[in-house]
Chain A
Amino acid sequence: DVIWLTIYVLVWPAVVAGILYVISRAFFAEWREARREGRDII
């Protein structure tokens, strides 16, 4: 039905938002650590 179809379509951006949060948080932690140690992040 319409409610399930709506959830089915809109759940994917929510999954993507969760992943974006996880990798961004990790990246900026690594970036701060690299700056503190005076080296490139990669």
Chain B
Amino acid sequence: MDLVRFDGVTTVLILVIFFGVMLYIVRTIAKKQEDADAYMTAGNSVGFGISAGSMTATWIWASSMYASATSGYLYGISGPIHYGLWGALMILFIYPFGRRIRSIAPKAHTLAEVLYVRHGRSSQLMLAVSNVVGSVISLTSNLIAGGVLIALLTPLGFTHGVVAIAVGLLVYTVWSGFRASVLTDFIQVVAMLGVVIVLIPALFFLAGFPEAFTTGAANLTPEQSNFFSSEAFLNQGAPYIAAVLAYAIGNQTIAQRLFAVREDLIRKTFVTATLGYGGTVIGMGMFGVLALYLGMEPLDGDPNNLIPQLAATYLPTALLIGFFVLIIGSLCSTGDSDLSALSSIAMADIYGQNIAGKEKADPRVMLLIGRLTMVAATAAALVLASMRLDILDLLVFVGALWGALVFPVIASFYWEKVTNAAFTTSVVAALALFIPVRFELVDLVGPLAYAVDVLAILGVGVIAGLMAFGFFGLRTGRIVGVVAAVVVTPFAFGAVHSYAVLSASLIAYSVSTLICFAMSVNSGRTFDFSVIRQRTGNFDEKEALEPREDPLPDP
């Protein structure tokens, strides 16, 4: 099946106009001498509209729309909910912790930077490395999505697409860093949401709905027709609920926005982004449900092709250009955020805290390191993309790994007794148990199976407890955690070990929590959280007092 709808000239023209607009917008805010702190967090006082737009755009990426549609195609009408809702809650459930972190480190740049002051180097690097791995994988995945889309819809090849997107991303992001990322995110989110508003109803009617709901009903199994499908919940929803806090903690792109937005606007920003992401990703996931009703077979047997396939089959050229911009915008808004996240980790964590030290760090060297990091990250992502690895599976795996970090990281920002040894030991031990369960390296039979079940049930309690703790405090968190563990026990005990991905994810939470708590509770350690405010902050304050060169003239 041939989906090519654009000629080469049209494709190049769309890409040149898209990246030209981004470059023009970035040039309006560019300075000859950028501020190193603004390069990472834009001065910690970004307004609601721009930060809500940026958070929404960053969390919506091409793969999230494709995966939501895949979920709809595989699990039926509840599939997109079980993908998009939990993805949206990742944004919602992190904000209470974000407010706490901002209150103790109002001018920090990365979560790992705060951990350095709280614990020391090993905890910092543990989180920073996991952030770097996640962002490089995400960047690679976005480049692959761009290459695949261009190869599907145009005569240009996969490599042309990947290189074009990578170069475009780097050119508009490298000079102004996070400021460029956030400002272009807003433009991209307006374009993306505008297209979604038109695209879903247009495709719905052009594909013959609502009549096709009747004529195509036979294409669905009873489970796919059931809005409360247990199959959809167990295979798609439950593993994602387990990942809600893990992705949010393990992702520097969220942390960067938590540090950038004006402190009193955190809740408003993150609630709005939750709704924006949920509406868009669940809405685009409906394409998978429509494809199921139409009895459509995915191109090359890959459900990830369903959205481009539906678009190329039913949409007129004008709307198809809109669809093309939607996908390019979604992968660029996430890709530029990944570049900014990686540069801030290199600037603040590697150079600022570990090489030069906070007092001796030179803001100009820092900026150079940030820009070189973006170039290196783009090159690395290009190499990985050329290998055509199943990069999304890798991201799901890394996301589950992040579960080991959740309790130690969150507890470190609230509880003075948590020690560096407790943090690192608990994370390493959780990973050591996660790997054999996740990859089924041991036969889970007899007492071992029951042990895994018990740890997984405790993991459910930890997740529910932490979620409630963020919003309602310690007492409610404890009650919700215990109740959740008790409620799932009759269903999970004796059964959950047979779901390797789910049980491994839950074990990562429970093991790190148990060990971190056990090693901390009698540690006798005290910690003055006000120290964090003093030892994290602007690297560029000395320069801010000196006269700056004029901004570039308006283009």
Give the interface size class of chain B.
Answer: 35 or more
- In the complex, how many angstroms separate the beta carbon of B137 from the nearest chain A beta carbon? 27
- Chain A residues within 8 Å of B182, by CB: 42
Identify the closest chain A residue to B50 (Cβ). A27
What's the minimum C-beta distance from B184 to chain A, rounded to whole angstroms?
Answer: 10
Q: B193-209: which residues lie under 8 A (CB-CB) from chain A?
A: 193-194, 196-198, 200-201, 204, 209
Known: A26-B52, A30-B50. A19 touches B275 (CB 8 A): yes
Q: Does B278 touch A at the CB level, under 8 Å?
A: yes
Residues in A neighbouring B504, C-beta threshold 8 A: none
- Smallest CB gap from A16: residue in B: B279
Query: Which of B38-64 touch A at CB < 8 Å?
Result: 42-43, 46-50, 52-53, 56
- Asked if B49 and A23 sit within 8 Å, CB to CB, the answer is yes
Q: Is the CB of B201 within 8 A of A8?
A: no
Alpha-carbon separation in the docked complex, A2 to B293 (Å):
12
Count, chain A residues at interface, CB 8 A? 27
Cα-based distance from A6 to B434 in the complex (angstroms) = 42
Q: Which residues of B contact A9 (CB under 8 A)?
A: 200, 204, 209, 286, 289-290
Question: Which has the most chain B C-beta neighbours within 10 Å: A2, A15, A30, A42?
Answer: A42
A30–B186 Cα distance when bound, in Å, is: 13
B193 contacts A16, C-beta separation under 8 Å: yes
B283 located at the interface, meaning its Cβ lies under 8 Å from any Cβ of chain A in the complex? yes
A1-35 Cβ-contact flags toward B at 8 Å (1 or 0): 01101101110110111111011111111100000
Q: Pick the most buried of A2, A3, A40: most chain B CB atoms within 10 A of its CB.
A: A40
Given contacts A12-B286, A13-B200, A41-B183, contact A28 B276 (CB under 8 A): no
Beta-carbon contact of A23 and B52 below 8 Å: yes
> Are the C-beta atoms of A12 and B283 separated by less than 8 Å?
yes
Which residues on B sit within 8 Å (CB–CB) of A19? Answer: 56, 193, 272, 275-276, 279
A7 CA to B57 CA, complexed, in Å: 25
B residues near A12, Cβ cutoff 8 Å: 196, 200, 279-280, 282-283, 286
A16 touches B47 (CB 8 A): no
Kindly state the separation between the CA atoms of A12 and B43 in the bound complex, as whole angstroms. 34
Closest Cβ neighbor of A27 among chain B residues: B49
Docked CA distance A35–B91 (Å): 31
How far in angstroms is the closest Cβ of chain A from B143? Answer: 26
Rounded to whole Å, the gap between the CB of B253 and the closest CB of chain A is 16
The reply to whether the CB of B190 lies closer than 8 angstroms to some CB of chain A is yes
B275 touches A6 (CB 8 A): no
B275 interface neighbour in A13, A15, A28, Cβ under 8 Å: A15
Contacts of A5 in B (CB 8 A): 77, 210, 213
Whole-angstrom CA separation of A22 from B275 in the bound complex: 11
A10 to chain B, nearest CB (A): 6
Q: Are B283 and A26 in contact (CB under 8 A)?
A: no
List 17 other contacts, CB 8 Å, given A17-B193, A19-B193.
A6-B204, A6-B210, A6-B213, A10-B204, A12-B200, A12-B283, A13-B196, A16-B196, A16-B283, A22-B52, A26-B47, A27-B47, A30-B48, A40-B28, A40-B29, A42-B43, A42-B46
Identify 17 residue pairs between A and B in the complex whose beta-carbon atoms are under 8 Å apart, listed by A's number: A2-B214, A6-B204, A6-B209, A6-B210, A15-B275, A16-B197, A16-B276, A16-B283, A20-B276, A23-B276, A24-B49, A26-B52, A27-B50, A27-B53, A27-B186, A41-B50, A42-B50
Could you list which residues of chain B lie within 8 angstroms of chain A, going by C-beta atoms? 28-29, 42-43, 46-50, 52-53, 56, 77, 179, 182-183, 186, 189-190, 193-194, 196-198, 200-201, 204, 209-210, 213-214, 272, 275-276, 278-280, 282-283, 286, 289-290
* CB-CB nearest 9 A-B residue pairs: A12-B283, A26-B49, A27-B49, A15-B279, A30-B47, A19-B276, A16-B279, A20-B193, A6-B210
